[in-house]
Amino acid sequence: MKKITMKDVADKAGVSKSTVSQYINNRYEYMAPATKERIENAIEELGYVPNYVAKSLKQKKTATIGVIVANMLHSFTTEIIRVIEDTCNQNDFHIFVCNADDNPEKEQAYITMLMAKQVDGLIIFPTMGNRELYKQLKKAQFPVVFIDRKVEPVLFPTFMLDNDKTSELAVERFIKRGRTKICLVGQSIESGITPRIERIGGYKKALFHNGLHVNEKWIITGDSDGINQQLQSLWQDEEARPNAFFAINGMAALNLLLFLKEHSIHIPEDVSVITMDDSPFLAASSPAITVVAQPNSQMGIDTANMMIGLIGNPELKKEYQVFRYPPTLIERESV
């Protein structure tokens, strides 16, 4: 089963390749209606599909955007990918999604691979471990947009949640309810991932503004095991027990919920809980969990549009501002 090429269509229709090319690219202006029809039929009969690889080579553009996500098992991520895909499709771009798994080496390998594949631009949830590479991309004036996390200096347009506000929303909700012994639970901040650091910063600021002091013991970060152990030991000391928990991401929320369940600590009677990254299950669970949600769709749409704009006019500014999005509190039953 030989591949059908443009030449086959041209031969069958009795015209030259270039005329077929015109047809494929919807430039019928000066084409005789009869010619057009003959080409149409030939394509139909042969089942011809144009070869984008050849087209891309010639045009030096692929109409595809590489998307490198930090963790694609996260619903936050998939929701954003989905709107990015929609927005790109509307503008005749395709996206090539890669999962860096929060691993800088994988990220680097994917960036190189996507460049080799000649993508027209890159949307990245940066791992924070490839500053040098980002600089090179900037020097090459390659279109890049960051989302969710920022890398200093801000070489590329960056779209992020207002993480300070996020923590403020949670803390003030707890205070309103009269719970001031507030514990924050999150994943490791060792690799310097901005949202985590900013949310902790925002938590401290919010406590301060409300005249509460920061208890370092009430800032728990780590992997599943680490979080669990710290939760355990924190709970030993009855004096030190918090009466409210703010989980700053889905994984931390899970560990927290599991811990509370195991120890038969009741929500909201014993402790209040607010988590981030809404999931339908959080609304369906008992009690339904109050969350701070982020405007995923808008962030995805804006990111994609910025990317498309950059591809159209790849003149990068020296430095960029970070675009911030306001979080919202979705009140349910856990506070």
Partner DNA sequence: CTGAAAGCGCTAACAT
Partner DNA sequence: ATGTTAGCGCTTTCAG
Maximum alpha-carbon separation in the chain: 89
Provide the 3-class DSSP secondary structure of residue 313.
coil
1 forms part of the interface with DNA (CB under 7 A): no
Stretch that binds a copy of itself, among 36-44, 172-180, 278-286, 303-311 (CB under 8 A): 278-286
Pick from 124, 71, 136, 131: which is nearest to 96 by CA?
124
Instruction: Give yes or no for residue 217 binding a copy of itself (CB under 8 A).
Output: no
Q: Does 273 bind a copy of itself (CB under 8 A)?
A: no
> Rounded to 5 degrees, what are φ and ψ at 71?
-160, 105
Which of 5, 21, 91, 118 contacts a copy of itself by CB under 8 A?
118
Q: Is 138 in the site for a copy of itself (CB under 8 A)?
A: no
How many residues line the site for a copy of itself (CB under 8 A)? 49
Residue from 209, 281, 312, 331 in contact with a copy of itself (CB under 8 A): 281
From CA 3, how far away is CA 53, in angstroms rounded? 14
Q: Which tokens hold the place of 54?
A: 């050849």
> Is residue 330 a contact residue for a copy of itself (CB under 8 A)?
no
Tokens 């086959």 -> residue: 8
Residue showing tokens 């650091």: 197
Query: What is the distance between the alpha carbons of residues 236 and 259, in angstroms, rounded to a whole number?
Result: 13
* Binding-residue pattern over the window 53 to 82 for a copy of itself, x denoting contact by CB under 8 A: xx-xx--x-x---------xx-x--xx-xx
Q: Is 30 a binder of DNA (CB under 7 A)? A: yes
Whole-angstrom Cα distance, residue 130 to residue 128? 6
Q: Are 276 and 250 in contact (CB under 8 A)?
A: yes
Amino acid letter, residue 106: K
51-90 footprint of DNA as x/- string (CB under 7 A): x--xx-xxxx------------------------------
Binding test (CB under 8 A) with a copy of itself, winner from 7, 28, 283, 331? 283
To which H or E segment does residue 68 belong? strand 64-69
Binding site for a copy of itself (CB under 8 A): 1, 3, 47, 49-54, 56-57, 60, 62, 72-73, 75, 78-79, 81-82, 85, 94, 96-99, 112-113, 115-118, 136, 139-141, 254, 257-258, 261, 279-286, 288
